[in-house]
């Protein structure tokens, strides 16, 4: 309505002035006429301003961004929207910028990776100058529709095809989130306790990047970060399955335990938040039952961790300590000094009681060239102190770099391990090997 009135007023006025202007110039008393017209113009401008003020009072917000750009004529006659001062330097940018498209509610991603490795402790590997092969094909689905979130990841590798995670979440008004499904257990350093491709001892012991099925609640409140979770059991609903992404207690051979009804809690506080030098201090705890299928009875498990994740400029330092206890209720003749874990299509043992330590340092290089987008170099050290089992500590140290260029990302790692799984006869229970064994690994992936 207001727009119509203003549009009409402008049209009538312009017509009147146009008609009046021509004869005025021909008139000998031009000055008097011009003064008269100027007075009329000022009167009209005052009236237009009053109408504009009234219109703006009804619409005190600027034009919303979603309103499409309009022609000048539209803008001119509808003075109600002329409320935003668009300053000189910004006009050119705003006019050239297309509105960012709304993100797709459901997005797809994935990766294809290949691996090349050279094992210095294996004669055949040395003779062949290493081995290459397919490593992974991965598909991801992520999305959010009306605060309900979906995230899932399927992985196919030479050893298994498996759902790494798959959960549905709900985001509350305060940005806290509830999750249901297979998701990462909130314990210790998150999301990973290492920077490299091969990962660290906590991962192989089931205390990092582990995914189980359950419910979780996440909340961030200023510098505080809270996680509460409950997991009914391991993620596949079948403790005998060895083809899984990350190690879980499995029923295999004489070891017939599985982890059930686990509660997790994690609290972290970030010191120096929003200062460019942030230090996250956190504690985590978990408590579960260990169901033994042979005795049909329940043992117990608990673990606690403290961590520091410090990101200062281009440096990242991570420290973590973990104490864990598995107290299985095995039948006579079955060792209580270890539990059997399964992943990657195989099984291996872990000392039933022990401590874990992590010390990682990484540096993100400042790249100014055109071709490389990312270069992160790191040294990741982790160690398992075995309280039972009689073996020497298991140690893993990886020095390497992650190099990114567009969709390509490669890890170039030199891995040394002692008494560690997949290195010689190393195990996380009773091996007694004093020798460091090496592996050079290049993992190249295309990520989309």
Partner 1 sequence: MSNLRRSTLLFLTACLLLPAAAADRLTVVSWGGAYVKSQMLGFILPFEEATGIQVDVLEYSGGIDEVRSQVRSWNVRWDVVDMELFDARRACREDLLVPFDHETLPPAPDGTPAREDFLEGSLLRCGVGNVIAATVVAYDHERIEQAPTRIEDFFDLQRFPGRRGLRRSPKVNLEWALIADGVPREDVYRVLDTEEGVDRAFRVLSRIKPLVDWWRSGEEAIELLEAGQVSMTSVFNGRVFDAVQRGETFSILWDHQVWFMDVWVMPRNGRRQEQAAEFIRFATATDSLARQMQFIPYGPVRRSALAQIEPDMRRQLPTAEENMATAIEGDAEWWAANVDRLTERFERWLERPVMVPRALPN
Kindly identify the residues of this chain, within the stretch 168-207, that bind partner 1 according to CB under 8 A.
Answer: 190-192, 195
CB closer to partner 1 out of 58 and 96: 96
The helix-helix angle for 2-26 and 30-58 (nearest 10°) equals 170
CB closer to partner 1 out of 179 and 262: 179
Touching partner 1, residues 303-342 (CB under 8 A) = 311, 313-316
Distance CA 437, CA 395 (A): 10
Phi, psi (deg, nearest 5) at residue 59 = -130, 75
DSSP structure string for 316-369: EEEEEEEEEEEE--PPTTS-SSEEEEEETTEEEEEESEEEEEEEEEEEE----S
Q: For 237-283, what is the HEC assignment?
A: CCCCCCCCCCCEECEECCEEEEEEEEEEEEEEEEECCCCCEEEEEEE
Touching partner 1, residues 415-444 (CB under 8 A) = none
State in angstroms the smallest separation of the CB of 105 from partner 1: 22
Touching partner 1, residues 28-47 (CB under 8 A) = 34, 37-38, 41, 45
Touching partner 1, residues 233-292 (CB under 8 A) = 272-277
Find how far residue 98's CA is from the centre of its chain.
28
Residues near 237 by Cβ (< 8 Å), separated by ≥ 6? Answer: 213
DSSP structure string for 386-443: ESSSSPPPEEEEEEEEEEEETTEEEEEEEEEEES-TTSTT--BSS------EEEEEEE
CB closer to partner 1 out of 70 and 435: 70
Q: How many of the chain's residues bind partner 1 (CB under 8 A)?
A: 76
Distance CA 326, CA 208 (A): 17
- Sole window of 56-64, 144-152, 211-219, 387-395 interacting with partner 1 (rule: CB under 8 A): 56-64
CB closer to partner 1 out of 17 and 263: 17
CB closer to partner 1 out of 367 and 388: 367
Residue of 1, 28, 57, 60 interacting with partner 1 (CB under 8 A): 60
Touching partner 1, residues 80-139 (CB under 8 A) = 82-97, 100, 111
Name the token pair of 397: 């140290």
- Sole window of 10-18, 143-151, 385-393, 423-431 interacting with partner 1 (rule: CB under 8 A): 10-18
Residue of 200, 402, 433, 442 interacting with partner 1 (CB under 8 A): 402
State in angstroms the smallest separation of the CB of 329 from partner 1: 36
Residues near 184 by Cβ (< 8 Å), separated by ≥ 6? Answer: 165, 190, 191, 209, 210, 211
Is position 5 an interface residue for partner 1 (rule: CB under 8 A)? no
CB closer to partner 1 out of 300 and 374: 374
Is-contact 179 296, C-beta < 8 A?
no
Distance CA 61, CA 91 (A): 19
CB closer to partner 1 out of 21 and 32: 21
Is position 150 an interface residue for partner 1 (rule: CB under 8 A)? no
CB closer to partner 1 out of 350 and 362: 362
- Sole window of 16-24, 125-133, 260-268, 424-432 interacting with partner 1 (rule: CB under 8 A): 16-24
- Sole window of 22-30, 379-387, 412-420, 431-439 interacting with partner 1 (rule: CB under 8 A): 22-30
Distance CA 344, CA 160 (A): 7
Residue of 12, 14, 32, 106 interacting with partner 1 (CB under 8 A): 14
From 344, 343, 381, 437, select the one nearest 125 (Cα to Cα).
437
Name the token pair of 366: 């400042």
CB closer to partner 1 out of 90 and 131: 90
Touching partner 1, residues 203-232 (CB under 8 A) = 209
Distance CA 336, CA 384 (A): 18
CB closer to partner 1 out of 52 and 325: 52
From 304, 309, 287, select the one nearest 229 (Cα to Cα).
287
Touching partner 1, residues 341-370 (CB under 8 A) = 362-364, 366-368, 370
Residue of 120, 121, 144, 373 interacting with partner 1 (CB under 8 A): 373
CB closer to partner 1 out of 30 and 432: 30
The contact mask relative to partner 1 for 377-396 (x = CB under 8 A, - = no) is: -x------------------
Distance CA 398, CA 113 (A): 20
Burial of 200 (0-12, 13-18, 19+ CB in 10 A): buried
């Amino acid at each position: 309505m207001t727009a119509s009135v203003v549009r009409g007023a402008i049209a009538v006025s312009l017509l009147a002035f146009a008609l009046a202007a021509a004869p005025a110039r021909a008139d000998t008393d031009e000055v008097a006429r011009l003064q008269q017209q100027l007075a009329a113009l000022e009167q009209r401008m005052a009236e237009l301003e009053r109408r504009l003020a009234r219109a703006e009072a009804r619409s005190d917000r600027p034009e919303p961004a979603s309103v499409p750009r309009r022609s000048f004529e539209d803008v001119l006659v509808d003075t109600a929207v002329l409320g935003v001062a668009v300053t000189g330097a910004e006009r050119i940018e705003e006019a050239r910028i297309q509105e960012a498209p709304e993100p797709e509610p459901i997005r797809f991603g994935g990766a294809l990776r290949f691996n090349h490795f050279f094992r210095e402790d294996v004669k055949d590997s040395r003779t062949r100058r290493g081995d290459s092969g397919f490593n992974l094909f991965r598909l991801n689905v992520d999305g959010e529709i009306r605060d309900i979130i979906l995230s899932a990841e399927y992985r196919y590798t030479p050893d298994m095809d498996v759902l790494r995670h798959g959960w549905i979440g709900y985001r509350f008004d305060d940005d806290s989130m509830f999750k249901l499904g297979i998701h990462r257990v909130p314990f210790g350093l998150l999301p990973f306790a290492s920077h490299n491709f091969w990962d660290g001892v906590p991962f192989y012991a089931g205390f990092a990047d582990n995914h189980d099925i359950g419910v979780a609640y996440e909340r961030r409140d200023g510098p505080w970060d809270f996680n509460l979770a409950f997991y009914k059991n391991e993620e596949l609903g079948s403790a005998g399955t060895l083809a899984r992404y990350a190690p879980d207690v499995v029923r295999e051979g004489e070891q017939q335990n599985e982890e059930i009804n686990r509660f997790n809690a994690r609290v972290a506080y970030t010191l120096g938040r929003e200062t460019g030098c942030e230090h996250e201090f956190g504690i985590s705890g978990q408590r579960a039952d260990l169901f033994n299928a042979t005795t049909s009875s329940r043992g117990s498990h608990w673990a606690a961790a403290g961590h520091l994740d410090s990101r200062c400029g281009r440096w990242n330092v991570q420290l973590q300590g973990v104490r864990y206890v598995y107290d299985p209720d095995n039948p006579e003749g079955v060792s209580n000094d270890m539990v059997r874990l399964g992943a990657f299509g195989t099984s291996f043992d872990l000392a039933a009681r022990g401590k874990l330590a992590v010390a990682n340092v990484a540096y993100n290089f400042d790249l100014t060239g055109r071709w490389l987008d990312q270069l992160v170099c790191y040294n990741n050290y982790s160690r398992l102190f075995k309280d039972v089992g009689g073996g020497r500590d298991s140690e893993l140290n990886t020095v390497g770099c992650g190099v990114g260029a567009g969709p390509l990302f490669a890890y170039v790692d030199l891995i040394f391990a002692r008494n560690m799984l997949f290195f010689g006869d190393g195990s996380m229970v009773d091996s007694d090997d004093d020798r460091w064994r090496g592996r050079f690994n290049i993992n190249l992936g295309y990520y989309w």
